[in-house]
Amino acid sequence: MNSPNSADSAVICSAKGCRAAAVWVLAWNNPKLHTPDRRKTWLACDAHREHLSQFLGVRGFLKDVVTLEEWEASGR
């Protein structure tokens, strides 16, 4: 998966088989694998934001959903 900060390639949705441009960043953390301040990110297009959020949400992993613009502006 591309980092949201990689400037060399288009930022593509993380949903399986989706090639749409990502507009959302889903920040998540699996407490069994990651320290509490660690953030993994998934990218989502408009169509998949809900689906991917739910996937992470039901597992209790989802921490934050922000636009890609906001994410990059936050410098993470």
Per CB under 5 A, residues contacting Zn ion are 13, 15, 18, 20, 45, 48
Residue with tokens 């597992």: 59
Least spacing, CB of residue 42 vs Zn ion, in Å? 10
Residue with tokens 């936050």: 74
Q: Which is nearer to Zn ion, 20 or 66 (CB)?
A: 20
Least spacing, CB of residue 19 vs Zn ion, in Å? 8
Least spacing, CB of residue 68 vs Zn ion, in Å? 13
- If one counts every other C-beta atom within 10 angstroms of the C-beta of residue 22, the result is 25
Query: Which region holds residue 60: left if phi is over 0, alpha if psi is between -120 and 50, else beta?
Result: left
